[in-house]
Amino acid sequence: MLYADVIVNIVHEKLDKSFQYKVPERLQGTLRLGSCVMIPFGTGNRLIKGYCVGLGDKCKIDPSKIKEIAEIVQNDAGDEGRSVALAAWIKENYGSTMIQALKTVLPMRKSVKKLERRTIVRKATKEELISMLGESQRKHQVAKARLLEALLEEETIPYEWVTSKLGVSAQAIGSLERLGALRIDSTTAFRDPVKVRAEGEEKKILSADQDKIIHDVLEDFDGGIHKTYLIHGITGSGKTEVYVRLVEGMVKRGRQVIMLIPEIALTYQTLLRFYRRFGNRVSVMNSTLSAGEKYDQCERAKAGEIDVIIGPRSALFTPFPNLGLIIMDEEHEASYKSEGTPKYHARETAEKLAELSGASLVLGSATPSVEAYYRALQGEYGLFRLKDRLTGGALPDVGIVDLREELRAGNRSIFSRKLQELLADRLSKGEQAMLFLNRRGYAGFVSCRSCGLVIKCPHCDVSLSEHGGNKLICHYCGYGIPKPAVCPSCGSKYVLGFKAGTEQIEEKLKELFPGVRTLRMDRDTTGTKDSYETILSAFANQEADVLIGTQMIVKGHDFPNVTLVGVLAADLSLGISDYRSGERTFQLLTQAVGRAGRGDKPGVAVIQTYQPDHYAVLAAAAQDYESFYQEEILYRELGGYPPVHHLLAVQTFSPDERAGERLASYMAGKVREYAKVHKIQMLGPSAATIGRINDVYRFVLYFKAEDYRKLVEIKDQLENYLSEERIAQENVQFDFDPMNFL
Ligand code: ADP
Ligand code: ZN
Ligand code: ZN
């Protein structure tokens, strides 16, 4: 006997309400999860449409009351059917329940709270604004000047944007209000999170390379060819302009566009370009929107009120009636992979969605993921290159400094002699510098220099890090204690932090250059939502000479006054045993180096490293993606790593260490034979790299195979085992082609 769970109401909130039906024998071979079915419903047995979300051999209701599925609806091409099909694909390829997958795909309905929104409206004439602008430029009031410039271009600007994206303080706005430059309007019932007047921007003449991309993609589209394209082009090479024109082309064809962008890279300038071209036919989805506002955006999309949505990963699930194009900018970003179950990757999911919708997919990046480039070279994706920076601004001069040599020459400082020299020069000229600490895989742990004791978090298997000189905290669970004055084990006074974090760099810099104005950006200084923007804006306002930070500082804003970038220890991320560490190092270094010299003044970058010959370091210094890729793909081939082969990580979670380990071994036992027969390599089970977080123990099993389908088969077998043994799904997580080794 086969029974199916059927849902009849395809909305987020009703998904847990399913009805069980018997599957008649004639349908048993064809019915699948996600199939659209007709079922007799209610006392009148009226036939209604539903979707199959579960299959099993146990009858959960009174067997005399169970009804049979009437038929399977073939070719269910409606919006609902497409969402369910996408969810079924996600469930199948990443591992989760059908309900979890549907919840990922369907927007959550929440009543929309009418928030009060403020808008800044231009009040003075343009001439008056220009004279105020001159005045504030003379007084070096950079923030005010920026707002005045924006007001010269736009009549109304959302208040939030001015404070967060333009980095203008409430005081500065208030003072311009008193001067009569602007007025602040309050509106409620605000459906559109952003309002900027659409204004015909004068059209640029496209370069031949840009023109070819637009032409080819649209020609394919019109010829019924919907495929995936990768645009490889450095920052400033005109990718965004291409996106804008492609959107225009789609709008002309009556189709809609989803544009994915890592939230951190969503700048005011980029948004403005889309608003100028498409006015209120474009909308933005980001984390500052409430659930109600997000739902509202989905309703507007369904109703055909907007043509373009711009947003992070989850914007992929905007329910457009006639989707024509998905754009994925900075496709290499790790944030495109979901962190919770199902652990889907937006790139592959976008490909599936495009296929279901008859849409094209355009990926863009300055440093493409090895996956995307591999597929492009295999001919699976169309490949385009944009080689030149269109706005001038030469690429920076890059120097590599061998830190081992510095030590041999007697320099024990964290700044090489070359970097010190350049810093002194920039400070004397009033130019700005950025210092970048590659902290990935590096724990600023504290140890006793006498007995070697490392102080660890009592809830997680990680060492505590030092903060503010007198506190130790855990980065995973937030646990904190005052730093002990003496070693708890041997009583020695020498309990010290190991190596330099951003705080120590700041201290050392101040010792070296008394009076230097610094800003620091890392996980600790960006606790609140706005602090990220606040720090970057302060730096853009030239309130500091040097910005010190972790990988967070390499993205987003352009700083025209930055003429020096120093990477303090390029190879810290190369040390970790993770197949993506070379790729990540290359991407981070390339981005970091590219921060110098965005304005009129040429820039210089210094990469300090212990591995000056590593291909990722050399290729980043030369800004040479191709040579990086050639080395990297060789390594992936030899190691059997993605994208050449595929990996599946299966992780167990348990508050009981033994129970967690036992579950992992049982699962390994279940599929050992299958893996052997099908030449699937199995590794583990073993404790995860961080074996315990928040008192939950983690074990991990790895499977490696050339064929992704075989790994899906392993996952299916393990899911069956879990459901037979009634082991809750939350105890196990599947991760295909993981972003990190677990
Ligand atoms: P990317 O997205 O690759 O960083 P953009 O599209 O933002 O590149 O272009 C970089 C700069 O060059 C922008 O200021 C843009 O306005 C300008 N630009 C883009 N295309 C052209 C063009 N065809 N002619 C002149 N300027 C252009
Ligand atoms: Zn000790
Ligand atoms: Zn902890």
Q: What is the tens place of the pLDDT at every residue in 611-666?
A: 888 899 999 999 899 999 999 999 899 888 899 999 999 999 999 999 999 999 99
Q: 535, 565 in Cβ contact below 8 A?
A: no
Residue 220: the pLDDT is 97
Q: How far is residue 154's CA from residue 97's CA, in Å, rounded to a whole number?
A: 48
Q: How far is the CA of 446 from the centre of ligand 2 (A)?
A: 11
- CA-proximal residue: ligand 1, atom 5 (nearest): 238
Pick the CATH number of 208-386 from 1.20.120.80, 3.40.50.300, 2.30.40.10, 1.10.10.60: 3.40.50.300
Question: Which stretch of 181-195, 249-263, 399-413 has the lowest confidence by average pLDDT?
Answer: 181-195
Q: Kindly write down the DSSP assignment for every residue of 532-579, as one continuous string.
A: HHHHHHHHHTT--SEEEESGGGGSS---TTEEEEEES-GGGGGSS--T
Ligand 1 site, residue 204, Cβ cutoff 6 A: yes
Do residues 375 and 381 lie in contact, with contact meaning Cβ atoms separated by under 8 Å?
A: yes
- How many Å lie between the centroid of ligand 3 and the Cα of residue 457? 5
Cβ atoms within 10 Å, residue 706:
12
Nearest ligand (C-alpha, residue 696): 3
Fold for the domain defined by 397-442+500-636: Rossmann fold (3.40.50)
Domain limits of the chain? 3-105, 115-189, 208-386, 397-442+500-636, 646-736
3-state secondary structure of 308: strand
- Residue at 532: amino acid letter: Y
Ligand 2 centroid to residue 490 C-alpha, Å: 4
End-to-end CA distance of the chain, in Å? 40
Q: What pLDDT is attached to residue 572?
A: 60
Ligand 1 lined by 338 (C-beta under 6 Å):
no
Place of tokens 């739902």: 295
For residue 688, pLDDT over 60 is answered with: yes
Which pLDDT band, with edges at 50, 70 and 90, does 420 fall under? Answer: very high
Nearest ligand 1 atom, CA 233: 3
Residue nearest to atom 25 of ligand 1 (CA): 204
Closest CA to 610 of 443, 420, 421, 416: 416
pLDDT of residue 108: 72
On the question of a common fold for 3-105 and 397-442+500-636, the answer reads no
Phi-psi bin for 180: left (phi > 0), alpha (psi -120 to 50), beta? left
Residue 479 Cα to ligand 3 middle (Å) = 5
CA of 463 to the centre of ligand 2 (A): 15
- Tell me which of 263 and 103 has the higher pLDDT: 103
- Give the whole-number percent of the chain exceeding pLDDT 70: 89
State which of 132-146, 149-163, 457-471, 634-648 shows the largest mean pLDDT: 634-648
Q: pLDDT, tens digit, for every residue of 689-719?
A: 778 888 999 999 999 999 999 999 999 999 9
So what's the pLDDT on residue 498?
Answer: 52
Tell the residue number behind the tokens 């962190």, with chain if given: 339
237 lines ligand 1 (CB under 6 A): yes
Rounded distance from Cα 356 to ligand 3 centre (Å): 44
| Greater model confidence, 399 or 480 | 399
Specify the pLDDT at position 541.
84
Please tell me if the CB atom of residue 235 comes closer than 6 angstroms to any atom of ligand 1: yes
Residue 441, pLDDT above cutoff 70: no
Nearest ligand, CA 494: 2
pLDDT of residue 263: 72
State which of 166-175, 398-407, 696-705 shows the largest mean pLDDT: 696-705
pLDDT band at 526 (very low <50, low <70, confident <90, very high): low
Contact 54, 34 (CB under 8 A): no
Q: Whose CA is nearest to atom 23 of ligand 1?
A: 206
> Ligand 3 (ion): which residues have CB within 5 A?
457, 459-460, 474, 476-477, 479
Residue 310 clears pLDDT 80, i.e. is over it: yes
The more confidently predicted of residues 460 and 659 is 659
Once rounded to an integer, what is the mean pLDDT over residues 353-380? 96
Distance from Cα 496 to the centre of ligand 2, integer Å:
10
Query: What Å distances lie between residue 410 and 403, 416, 609, 722, CA to CA?
Result: 11, 11, 16, 60
**In this prediction, what percent of the chain has a pLDDT beyond 90?**
42
Q: What are 105-135's pLDDT values in tens digits?
A: 987 766 555 555 678 889 888 889 999 999 9
CATH class held by domain 646-736: alpha beta
Q: In this predicted structure, what is the pLDDT of residue 213?
A: 98
Residue 568: per-residue pLDDT: 86
For residue 416 and ligand 1, the question of a CB distance below 6 A is answered with: no
Tell me the pLDDT of the chain averaged across its residues: 85
Residue 86 has pLDDT above 90, yes or no: yes
For residue 537, what are the contacts with CB-CB under 8 A and spacing of at least 6? 143, 166, 167, 168
pLDDT of residue 31 exceeding 80, the answer is yes
* Integer CA distances (angstroms), 586 to 363, 364, 596, 618, in order: 19, 17, 16, 9
What's the confidence (pLDDT) of residue 582?
Answer: 87
> Residue 296: its pLDDT value, please?
80
Q: With 70 as the cut, is the pLDDT of residue 66 above it? A: yes
Q: How many helices (H) and strands (E) does the chain have?
A: 21, 30
pLDDT at 9 over 60: yes
What pLDDT is attached to residue 231?
Answer: 98
Best probe residue, ligand 1, of 240, 276, 365, 557 (max atoms within 8 Å of C-beta): 240
* Dist. CA 333–CA 636, nearest whole Å: 19
Residue 44, pLDDT above cutoff 80:
yes
CATH classification of 3-105, choosing from 3.40.1440.60, 1.10.287.610, 3.40.50.1440, 3.10.310.30?
3.40.1440.60
Element (H, E) at 665: helix 657-677
Whether 544 lines ligand 1, by a CB cut-off of 6 Å, is no
Q: Can you give the pLDDT at residue 228?
A: 98
Q: In this predicted structure, what is the pLDDT of residue 81?
A: 84
